[in-house]
Copies of this chain bind each other. A is one copy, B any other.
Amino acid sequence: MFTTIFKHKPLIHHLTNTVTINDCANVTLAVGASPVMAEDIREVEEMVRLAQALVLNIGTIDADMQAAQRLAASEARRLNVPIILDPVGAGATSLRTSFSKELSRLGCTVVKGNASEIKTLLGENGRTKGVDAASDEIMDREIIRAFARKQKSVIVVTGPIDYITDGMREVELQVGTPRLGDVTGTGCMTASLIASFLGAGYSAFEAAVHGTFIMGKAGGQAASEKGLGNFKRELFNAISLMTEQDLMEVVEHVN
């Protein structure tokens, strides 16, 4: 745990999917922040007012969740609560494409997706396959940087090399492992990690780098486990055992 960074236990409000909601709660706890999931439209604004960061994930979006995310995003913008958007499956269906574009235009602090999802937000035709990226997506980074500047968002493109930019600065991280794709929710959990750092007061760029780095590094530490049960257990072990000291490595990476 990052006991210094999260000593005030920032509350991370999640409006997220039912597939990985448990893992998102546990990964938030694993680093030392505090998760909450409250999705009724009658309470989302109240919960945003208590929260230090807001996660919007469209993985199992429906009309009620859309309404809740719109309200929560609006209240978060009003109060300067940082927002991270995870546009799961953007490009796969028109509902996901249009709603993730709508949310991204609200001015999210961080937008994190795989290459297909981010391409879709850029207006290109991402070849999203279900919720996973086509493996051979190639992206023009200048286009991503221009998008980041225009939206005033930090963009995280996860993949074999994770790419993070605020439009000016950029970082490539190659600490991950393809094994992270063998477990559902590692992308969603990365958003929870980024949100935790946002909630602790880190800048959008730093939070994006730290959260992405932690998932990648933990995946690398767990990757020697062949079985999926062991791999997932070790992934959670590695995240929960990481400390402020481990973040020195990525800081050097950035400088």
Q: How far is the CA of A42 from the CA of B19 in the complex (A)?
A: 19
- CB pair B184–A43 under 8 Å, yes or no, is no
Q: Which residues of B contact A19 (CB under 8 A)?
A: 21-22, 25, 37
- CB pair A40–B26 under 8 Å, yes or no, is no
Per-residue interface assignment for chain A, residues 123 to 164, with 1 indicating a CB less than 8 Å from any chain B CB and 0 otherwise: 000000111100000000000000000000000000000000
- CB pair B232–A227 under 8 Å, yes or no, is no
Q: Which residues of B contact A220 (CB under 8 A)?
A: none
A interface residues, tally (CB under 8 Å): 63
- CB pair A38–B60 under 8 Å, yes or no, is yes
Among A92-100, A101-109, A168-176, A244-252, the one that faces the other chain is: A92-100
Closest to A222 in B: B229
In the complex, whether A237 has a CB less than 8 A from a CB of chain B is yes
- Our pick among B11, B18, B182 for the contact of A30 (Cβ within 8 Å) is B182
- Our pick among B17, B59, B63, B237 for the contact of A227 (Cβ within 8 Å) is B237
- CB pair B93–A130 under 8 Å, yes or no, is no
In the complex, whether A35 has a CB less than 8 A from a CB of chain B is yes
Q: Which residues of B contact A22 (CB under 8 A)?
A: 19-20, 22-23, 184-185
In the complex, whether A36 has a CB less than 8 A from a CB of chain B is yes
Given contacts A21-B19, A59-B37, A63-B40, contact A184 B26 (CB under 8 A): yes
Q: Which residues of B contact A40 (CB under 8 A)?
A: 61-63, 95
Q: Which residues of B contact A47 (CB under 8 A)?
A: 92-93, 130
Per-residue interface assignment for chain A, residues 179 to 197, with 1 indicating a CB less than 8 Å from any chain B CB and 0 otherwise: 0011111000000000000
Q: How far is the CA of A232 from the CA of B233 in the complex (A)?
A: 9
Q: How far is the CA of A112 from the CA of B64 in the complex (A)?
A: 29
- Our pick among B21, B26, B130, B227 for the contact of A36 (Cβ within 8 Å) is B130
Q: List 26 interface pairs A-B (beta carbons < 8 Å), by A numbering.
A: A17-B37, A18-B18, A19-B21, A20-B22, A22-B22, A22-B184, A29-B182, A29-B183, A30-B182, A35-B130, A36-B89, A36-B131, A38-B60, A38-B92, A40-B61, A40-B63, A47-B93, A47-B130, A226-B237, A227-B233, A227-B238, A228-B237, A228-B240, A229-B232, A229-B240, A233-B233
Apart from the given pairs A9-B132, A25-B185, 10 other A-B contacts in the complex at a CB distance below 8 Å: A34-B129, A34-B130, A42-B93, A46-B92, A62-B64, A229-B233, A229-B234, A229-B236, A229-B240, A230-B233
